[in-house]
Amino acid sequence: MLFVPGNNPGMMSDAHIYGSDALMFDLEDSVTLREKDAARLLVYHALKTIHYGDCERVVRVNPLSTPFGKADIEAMVAAGAQVIRLPKTETAQDILDMEAEIERAEKQFGIPIGQTRMMAAIEGALGVVNAYAIATASPRLVAIALGAEDYCANLKTSRSLEGSELLYARGAIVVAARAARIDCIDTVFSDVNNEDQLIKETQAIKQLGFDGKSVINPRQIKPVHRVFTPTQKEIAKANRILAASREAEARGSGVVALDGKMIDRPVVIRAERTLELAYASRAVFEEDEV
Amino acid sequence: MKITTPASAGTMESGDIMIEIESSDQREVEVVLKSSVANEFGKQIVATIRNAVEEFGLEYAVINAVDKGALDCTIRARVAAACQRATSSTAFDWGKNA
Amino acid sequence: MTQDQAFYTALNALNKAAYVPGENPRLYDKDPVPLKNRMARENKIVESLEKAVELSGLQNGMTISFHHHFRDGDHIVNLVMDTLARMGFRDLRLAPSSLSDVHAPLIQHIKNGVISHIETSGCRGALAKAVSQGLMDDPMVFRSHGGRAAAIEEDEIHIDVAFLGASSCDPFGNANGYSREGEEKSMCGSLGYARVDAQYADSVIVLTDNIVGYPNVPFGISQRLVDYIVCVDDVGDASKIMTGATRFSTNPHDLMIAEMTSNVIVHSGYFYEGFSLQTGSGGASLAVTRFLREAMIEKNIHASFALGGITGAMVKLLEEGLVSRLLDVQSFDLDAAQSLKNNRFHQQIDANYYANPYRRGAAVNQLDVVVLSALEVDTSFNVNVLTGSDGVIRGAVGGHPDTAAGASLAIVVCPLMRGRMPCVRDHVNTIVTPGNTVDVLVTDQGIAVNPRRPEVAERLEKAHLKVTPIEELARRAERITGKPDPLPFGDKVVGICTYRDGSVLDLIRNLT
């Protein structure tokens, strides 16, 4: 998910060309107080006019506790944003309050109720504690994400390269997301020039179970995609596992065997997910299958 | 709606347009445009600015615009922001041309 | 035999003259003086530029030429023109290989009638703007590098006097774009364009700020082509001639286009062991080298040679063994100039060797792939690199049409829009390279393949590189930017853009 500051018209006009899966237009932290009104109008007009291709259109609004939040939601729902991201989510009530505003706006502007989805960013200790409650608070919620900068400040610690201070939050968010059957997205890596460290961190959070990562510069998109893209070896193995599974099913047997070893159900599910990722990242093309 | 104070919106960055708006003695919307693409898009930019000002509901104004290659949607957004600031109002019909 | 009467009778019968020491005024007497004294006494160095001009026999109305290897740091053109103006010359015809921002003072000389006609590859800055507004009565004639070289060789351009700046020169005229002794004040690397002028001009004057010892070999320009040498304080401003290695762009659009272009090359069918390559010198077209290098390493493919317009990026490939040879008609940065000076596999070539349109063996004809930048491209794949979107002259033809015509695959790279200006459109302001020689267009929003090359489109599609019809790209650009109004051109022709053989591609009109 590529962050696009909401007050930069130059970047907004073609942010979709870099191939990220989603674009997050930001009305919150990257916009100064004086420019909140202008940014809201810029993103509104951009969403209504510019065709962003296959990128999912996410907007990070200001919290309802600020003077800007309500107008942000109205404008973004009217503009057709696909997902509204709520920063600094602490409780399930935060989600419910936002959902009520979104529904009001959908009614007002003739948008089908429920069409606008939500994403919750957890950026503090309370949010981590309430992660599952937040993740299940609304059927509109499609993902929860971690915002590391504010979280670390909240914890009264600082950010480090190896990220031990984020371990619990990351674990909690992945667990909550899985339990609620929604996606989880990791925080941004701000050192744009350090690609090696970006790759290391992305590998680590992929291993933790995250579905994706936010990026702040188009240059970071390809390395992140590469980490999440299965290798040819992994794809070949997944294909074999699925073939064995199909074959067992055809035999009417519940036991799947490959290379003389029994394959448990979780392994088959993981293989399916590997192939899903493979197609999604264009490592494999359906029309190439023999 | 009346302009209570001169206001501006936008920056001089590439792809943006700086809009300065103040009230006018004449009974019209006057647009003065400086643009890096004046020859090719000058007319369109002025038309877009006028249109956005009228849509906002202002009948008399003087607009000074310095354009650095902004797209129409950016121009509309900047004009709307400048109008809002100039009239000290936050009204905007988000649902228009849905 | 003894030289008696019989000897002379026989000579008479054979109608031959006998050797008489000292009789033939063309021969030089044997000189017992040591070399260092000889050199000081007799050489081609003339005490002043004025003297050299007098000796050259320059007259009003004649054609004079310059090279542009010192680019925006050049002092030679202005120095010579100021001197010629002071000496009272008029109606001179200029044939520089190109002109730059620094040559704005020519405006005054044109107004005063010192210069009546200019033939060049390019023109920039205040001079270009003035020409676009109708400064000159005679239209400026634009030629490609190959077109200029051929015109000189075929005497379509007859250079009476060539004024050639050199970074170092010995007292007999062996000149180079670098120096092996003394202060290296103004390095420029290859003298590829200058070599053609030196070969064909009636009179050749070398201007240098660095006289070095004889013989200044290996030479860029042979002493045999040089008539007079003039010492000047500074041939140019080193900081504006060239800087260290040209940096790769960090602009995300450029990088995207560069990476896509590299992928296109890899799957085009022209990426094989021993392929040949030329890229542009900046922006996306230079950055292609960065990505292509990775592919070359990964697939263990080496290039037989790279041509150009050589930059440090290509030098790196040579030094890494990924490219076997470099053919250099113009060095773009200090890394390239140093490599030309020190690496014998980095060869200096002249403009005819590079791109003469009438020779099958010209280097551009041996290219597999060329990557070229563009200001604008139209739906017939015609390219403009000469006039801006505002219609003002601001660039150069360069080797664009030469390499496009010569390469097996010509790829043009260009963003879909620059700010609000669509770069892919129905018509370009000036056709510099005709669409029948352009094969692929790579933009940041899609790849288009000329319908003349269906096999290339097929290969790209097979590699899952989506090909979009160029009309669709033009429409997409227009939908985003809106349709531009036509430019306010007048009726006066201020520029003639010619193809490699001198035939006219397009006319440039004045801007009102």
Per-residue pLDDT, C425: 95
β-bridge pairing A212-213 and A256-258: unpaired
Helix A265-280 × helix A232-251 angle, to 10°: 130
Per-residue pLDDT, C204: 98
Under 8 Å between Cβ of C372 and C412? yes
Task: Give the ranges where C300-365 is alpha helix by DSSP (H).
Answer: 312-320, 334-342, 351-355
Beta strands (DSSP E) in chain A are 2-5, 22-26, 56-60, 83-86, 117-122, 141-146, 183-186, 212-213, 256-258, 261-263
3-state secondary structure of A95: helix
Per-residue pLDDT, C264: 97
Please give the residue of chain B at the shortest CA–CA distance from A51: B73
Whole-number Å distance between alpha carbons of C142 and C496? 6
Touching chains, B (3+ CB pairs < 8 A): A, C
Per-residue pLDDT, C224: 97
Comparing C-alpha atoms, which of A187, A190, A193 is closest to residue A210? A187
Query: Which pTM does this prediction carry?
Result: 0.90
Beta strands (DSSP E) in chain B are 7-9, 17-22, 29-35, 61-67
Please give the residue of chain C at the shortest CA–CA distance from B16: C419
**Contact flag A14-C445 (C-beta cutoff 8 Å):** yes
Per-residue pLDDT, A53: 85
Per-residue pLDDT, A179: 95
Question: pLDDT by residue for chain C (512 residues), tens digit each?
Answer: 778 899 999 999 999 999 999 899 999 888 899 988 888 888 999 999 999 999 999 999 999 999 999 999 999 999 999 999 999 999 999 999 999 999 999 999 999 999 999 999 999 999 999 999 999 999 999 999 999 999 999 999 999 999 999 999 999 999 999 999 977 789 999 999 999 999 999 999 999 999 999 999 999 999 999 999 999 999 999 888 887 778 888 888 999 999 999 999 999 999 999 999 999 887 899 999 999 999 999 999 999 999 999 999 999 999 999 999 999 999 999 999 999 999 999 999 999 999 999 999 999 999 999 999 999 999 999 999 999 988 999 999 999 999 999 999 999 999 999 989 999 999 999 999 999 999 999 999 999 999 999 999 999 999 999 999 999 999 999 999 999 999 999 999 999 999 999 999 999 999 98
| B28: pLDDT strictly greater than 90 | no
Per-residue pLDDT, A277: 78
Residues 6 or more apart whose Cβ sits within 8 Å of residue C396? C98, C120, C121, C122, C123, C124, C385, C386
Per-residue pLDDT, B97: 60
User: What tokens were used for B24?
Assistant: 């006018």
| B27: pLDDT strictly greater than 90 | no
Using CB atoms, pick whichever of B15, B39, B69 lies closest to residue C487.
B39
Per-residue pLDDT, A289: 53
Whole-number Å distance between alpha carbons of A218 and C255? 10
Touching chains, A (3+ CB pairs < 8 A): B, C
Residues 6 or more apart whose Cβ sits within 8 Å of residue C15? none
**Is the confidence metric ipTM above 0.90 for this complex?**
yes
Per-residue pLDDT, C450: 98
Whole-number Å distance between alpha carbons of C336 and C139? 35
**Contact flag C485-B43 (C-beta cutoff 8 Å):** yes
Task: Give the ranges where C223-328 is alpha helix by DSSP (H).
Answer: 238-241, 252-267, 283-299, 312-320
Contacts of B42 in chain C (CB under 8 A): 485
Whole-number Å distance between alpha carbons of C450 and C442? 11
Q: What are phi and psi of C22, to 5 degrees?
A: 80, -5
Please give the residue of chain A at the shortest CA–CA distance from C260: A18
Per-residue pLDDT, A288: 59
Contacts of B39 in chain C (CB under 8 A): 390-391, 485, 487-488
Whole-number Å distance between alpha carbons of B76 and C474? 24
Per-residue pLDDT, C27: 93
Contacts of B13 in chain A (CB under 8 A): 8-10
